[in-house]
A and B are shown apart, each in its own frame.
Chain A
Amino acid sequence: MRTITTQEITKAIKEMCIEANHTLSPDMKAVFQAASQKEESPLGKKILDQLEENLIIAGQDMIPICQDTGMAVVFIQLGQEVHIQGGSLTDAVNQGVREGYAEGYLRKSVVSDPIERVNTKDNTPAVIHYEVIEGEALHITVAPKGFGSENMSRVFMLKPADGIEGVKESILTAVKDAGPNACPPMVVGVGIGGTFEKCALMAKHALTRNLEEPSPVPYVRQLEEEMLEKINGLGIGPGGLGGTVTALAVNIETYPTHIAGLPVAVNICCHVNRHVNRML
C-alpha cells in the first residue's frame, strides 16, 4: 500500500494544464516538421511555417499556443494499491484545473449547464476518465481539448457487414465534413468496436498516444497508414486552404464488440493536439 496526497495530485494537474497549453509534446513537433517538408502548396507551406513559429513564440513568451485552451480532459489510471489521502480525488483534480487555468492565464471556456450556459469562470469541471489498474502508481494524462475540432467529431453505428470498408468511409466522411473548421492539419483519433460510449472513449484516448508509435496490431497499423494517405489526398490542406497535408497522424484503437455491431468513433483534433503524461 502506498499513500499519495491530494495536494500532490492538485499540484501535478496544475502544472500539466499550463505545460500542455504552451508546449506540444516531442512527437507532435516531430510529425509537424515532417509534414512541413511534404507540403506542396505554397500557401499551405507558409501556414505550416507560421504554425511552427507560433509554437516557438508560445513557449518563449508564455502565450498559449491557441486561445481555445480547451476543456480539460483528464485520464487517471489509479493503481489498486494506492491510498489517496486528504479528500476526494475528483476534487483534487478539479482544484488542479482551477489553479492551472488561473495561474497560467488560460481561457475559461466551460459553462455550468449546456442549456443555461453560465461560465464557471475557472474552467472546471474537468472531464475525468478513471481506470483502476494493478500496482501502486498513479498515471495522469492531461489533454485540454479545443472545440473547433471537437464539434466535428462523429460516432457511426455501422453494421458488421459494412466491414473495414465501412470504417474507412466513416473516417473519410468525418474528416471531409470537418474540413477547415477543425484547424487542419488535424490529428485523427479513431475507436473501433466496443459499445457506443466505449468507441468514443477509445477515439479520445487514441489522440493521446505517441504519434510516432504505430499500433502494435498489424492490420490496425496498415489501416492507420492507409487512412493518413487517403486523408492527405483529400486536398483540404493547412487551414483548409488547399494542400497535401490535411492530417499529421491517424491513431486507431480497437476493442471486442457485439455480434450485431460495428461502432466507429472519429474524434477530430486540430494541430494543437495537447497531451501531457505524468506518473506519481
Chain B
Amino acid sequence: MEQHIQAPVTREKIENLKAGDYIYLSGTIYTARDAAHKRMQETLDQGKELPFSVKGNVIYYMGPSPARQGRPIGSAGPTTASRMDRYTPTLLDMGLGAMIGKGKRSQEVIDAIIRNKAVYFAAIGGAGAILSKCILSSEVIAYEDLGTEAIRRLEVKNLPVVVVIDSQGNNLYETAILEFCTGGNK
C-alpha cells in the first residue's frame, strides 16, 4: 500500500504501517551514522542531553557527499543500518519513532522496535542522486567536526522509503525473499 507520512511521526500512524508498504515521507528528520551514534551514546553515559530530542523523530542513517553551490546537499542515500545496532535499542527506548537505512537489523533492535511500537524503513541503497532531490534543506546541528558524519536536520518532501520491519516485528527482508526463491538454494 502507498501512504504519505509526516515527520515527526505519531504512534498511531506507525502502528498502521505494515511491512511492504511504500511510503512517501515529508517533514523534518535527522541524520546520524556511526560516529554520531557513538558520541550520542557517550553523551547519555555522562548523563547529558542529546543534541536533539529523539522522541517521535526519525533518524536517517546517512552521510552526504558535499553540496555543490546552490544545492542543499550532495548525494544522500542510506548507509548500512546494522552498524548502528549497538546503539539503537537505547534510542528506541527513549522514544525514537523511526529509522531509515538499508540492510538487516539485530534481534535486539527488532525486539526494541516491537516493545516501543517503532518502525524501520529502507531507502534505496545507491540512489543518492535521486534521493537528494527529495531534500529541501539541510543544516548541521551538532558534531560539525565529524564532517559528513555530523548530525543534520533535514526538511524532506516525498522521500520514498519501504517499511521493512513494522511495529509488530514483521520483516520484509525475510518474507519477500521466500516469494522469489527458486528453491534448492534455501
Contact = CB atoms under 8 A, between A and B. Distances in A.
A7 to B, nearest CB: 25
Contacts of B103: 148, 179-181, 240
A241 interface: yes
B65 A64 contact: yes
B interface, size bucket: 35 or more
Interface string A245-264: 00000000000000000000
A51 B127 contact: yes
A208 interface: no
A64 B182 contact: no
Interface string A149-192: 00100000000000000000000100000011101000000000
Interface in B47-73: 62-68, 71
B132 A63 contact: yes
Contacts of B181: 233-235
Contacts of A64: 65, 74-75, 128-129
Given A108-B148, A237-B177, A172 B102 contact: no
17 contacts: A43-B162, A53-B130, A54-B130, A57-B133, A63-B128, A64-B75, A66-B129, A67-B62, A67-B74, A68-B77, A107-B65, A108-B147, A109-B148, A235-B179, A235-B182, A241-B172, A242-B172
* 9 closest A-B pairs by CB: A242-B176, A183-B125, A235-B181, A181-B103, A235-B180, A233-B182, A67-B75, A107-B65, A64-B75
Interface of A: 40-41, 43-44, 47, 50-51, 53-55, 57-58, 61-69, 105-109, 117, 119, 121, 146, 148, 151, 172, 179-181, 183, 230, 233-237, 239-244, 270-272
Interface of B: 20, 22, 35, 62-68, 71, 74-77, 79-80, 82, 102-104, 122, 124-130, 132-133, 146-148, 160, 162, 164, 172-173, 175-185
